[in-house]
Structure 1
């Protein structure tokens, strides 16, 4: 562990600074509770600048979490992407282990807004594209010299900033892999959150980057349907098999969020759902590649924007004409 601390020494933050930043871990500053512990918001002086931060404080009552702590620190220290949370530093002293990142969750997580009727189809499509870009960066970026398999893609680890831009978080179980071996199985127990876990893990006894693709496909259907991947007391507890059934029966309209139906063209729905369906295919080899997903989503995001730009002038022209008719005839 001494080696790890030395490697990341430039990221160390004194405990007293974190305590001050979070007002001594005040309950009012709690913004989340995860598997590792509580997350606090705060303001930290860093290089003469006051920045807004999130501080994940490891819960040591039950032991464990140390491996996950250093995994997250290691991953975030290497990752630089507009749609991935940015690390500020960490604290490792007086039996405290705290990961400090920039505060990216002004609008909470995507999970909190899945059923929000005010989150438009255009916004949802942009979130989908941006998360896909983050995944492509993790899987293929040659500048790092290795790929990253996230293994915890879900709507809770996708944070939304003040502009509704998504920021991917939750790297505590991520795995580094050689770029030329991303498709090879890494032996592993099923990892992730219920409802998002690649069913192929049990069959192959391991994961590949396509395990992330499966989880992302579930998120795409969450975005489309406005419901969570797993609803404990529901007859259809898991969204993935429900989505597969309705897609194959051409009955997606029955499960799409009703507020979205009139905002999307049939062509947009067809292409988006085709990508999402491919991602959650039961066999990894039939799932779309990350870069192809990005290309597809970007393409019909552009079509959606063009459609809006066409519809708006027609709407305003019609509205103006109706006003003229009302006042002068």
Structure 2
């Protein structure tokens, strides 16, 4: 990983510049927390242009923080896609390790799940953007490696000013040779509670299908207007609840009321929920989201007519 830092030395940003951009890491500028990092918004002057940025500052007291820092730089500097977060640069000075990315004006999907103003059409467009990002990560022609994200959730999916999805949170991602992409990558359970693939316990590791499971949970979050896991609440985990209601044809009982009350094509809803349910299949090999979602939705999702036909 150290070689990745050296290779992209031209992206280095002095600590004093990041400090100034975030107003000395002012508490009011905090926009997110990770396991070993805190993210701040700010305005960075670069090439005589003032840009809005997000500065992810890692807590270097933890060994894991440095690993996450180098891993994320390695991934972000290697990948380019319209539905992935864009790296601006990084700071690596003594005990300061910071990754600077473009600031996304509308925060994360997790902040808008219950937002009555986030329409069905917008939610579908966001989901399609994430699906495209996953397809690119899992396989891209001409690249000799594939990426397992390992932490797909509604807080790592950011939204730009046009409500387009920008996938972030690559601190725990794993690179794999394309030749072995279908094989299990042995590791301890990683991810966020409520989104982790239950198959990890039996296989002893993750696969690209683990990302598909997590994405399926996000699809149901978007439909139900609630987080995947709500502590200290009855039926706190959304995934088993959604599967139960899907199988019993009673999803309307847990759908976001604002979506349920507004005009929504029954055919659109049926296709969407069948895709989301397939993502949660206990057998990872049967999680067909990349095949089903991208091929079907590109053909049938007509945003110009409010997705009357899905």
Distance in 1 (CA, whole Å) between partners of 2:2 and 2:288 is 41
The answer to whether residue 30 in structure 2 is matched with residue 30 in structure 1 is yes
> Would you identify which runs of 4 or more consecutive aligned residues in structure 1 move more than 4 Å?
307-310
Using a 3 Å threshold, how does the CA distance of structure 1 residues 108 and 226 change in structure 2: closer, same or farther? same
Pairwise mapping of residues 241-256 of structure 1 onto structure 2 (< 5 A)?
241-256=240-255
Shift of 1:8: 1.9
For the 8 Å contact 1:84–1:134, the answer to whether it is kept is yes
Using a 3 Å threshold, how does the CA distance of structure 1 residues 194 and 91 change in structure 2: closer, same or farther? same
Correspondence for 2:45 = 45
Correspondence for 2:153 = 154
Gapped regions of structure 2 (runs ≥ 5): none
For the 8 Å contact 2:145–2:176, the answer to whether it is kept is yes
Per-residue deviation, residues 176-207 of structure 1 (Å, max 9, x unmatched): 11223221111111110000000111101111
TM-score, normalising length: structure 1: 0.89
For the 8 Å contact 2:44–2:51, the answer to whether it is kept is yes
Per-residue deviation, residues 111-151 of structure 1 (Å, max 9, x unmatched): 01101111100000000101100111101112332111100
Tell me the secondary structure at the aligned position of residue 196 of structure 1. coil
- The answer to which of 87-96 and 40-49 deviates more is 40-49
TM-score, normalising length: structure 2: 0.95
Distance in 2 (CA, whole Å) between partners of 1:298 and 1:274 is 16
Pairwise mapping of residues 88-103 of structure 1 onto structure 2 (< 5 A)?
88-103=88-103
Distance in 2 (CA, whole Å) between partners of 1:133 and 1:108 is 20
Tell me the secondary structure at the aligned position of residue 83 of structure 1. coil
Correspondence for 1:177 = 176
For the 8 Å contact 1:53–1:100, the answer to whether it is kept is yes
Distance in 2 (CA, whole Å) between partners of 1:211 and 1:257 is 26
Tell me the secondary structure at the aligned position of residue 91 of structure 2. strand
Correspondence for 1:188 = 187
Distance in 2 (CA, whole Å) between partners of 1:54 and 1:91 is 13
Using a 3 Å threshold, how does the CA distance of structure 1 residues 265 and 5 change in structure 2: closer, same or farther? closer
Shift of 1:6: 1.6
Distance in 2 (CA, whole Å) between partners of 1:4 and 1:147 is 17
Distance in 1 (CA, whole Å) between partners of 2:141 and 2:239 is 32
The answer to whether residue 266 in structure 2 is matched with residue 266 in structure 1 is yes
Using a 3 Å threshold, how does the CA distance of structure 1 residues 255 and 289 change in structure 2: closer, same or farther? closer
Per-residue deviation, residues 203-243 of structure 1 (Å, max 9, x unmatched): 01111100000000000000011111001112111100001
Distance in 2 (CA, whole Å) between partners of 1:308 and 1:250 is 22
Of Structure 1 and Structure 2, the greater helix share is in 1
Correspondence for 1:55 = 55
For the 8 Å contact 1:38–1:56, the answer to whether it is kept is yes
Tell me the secondary structure at the aligned position of residue 259 of structure 1. helix
Distance in 1 (CA, whole Å) between partners of 2:257 and 2:3 is 54
Tell me the secondary structure at the aligned position of residue 56 of structure 2. strand
For the 8 Å contact 1:87–1:101, the answer to whether it is kept is yes
Shift of 1:306: 2.9
For the 8 Å contact 1:157–1:169, the answer to whether it is kept is yes
Distance in 1 (CA, whole Å) between partners of 2:234 and 2:308 is 41
Shift of 1:28: 2.1
Correspondence for 1:70 = 70
CA RMSD in angstroms comes to 1.7
Using a 3 Å threshold, how does the CA distance of structure 1 residues 229 and 41 change in structure 2: closer, same or farther? same
The number of residues matched between the two structures is: 308
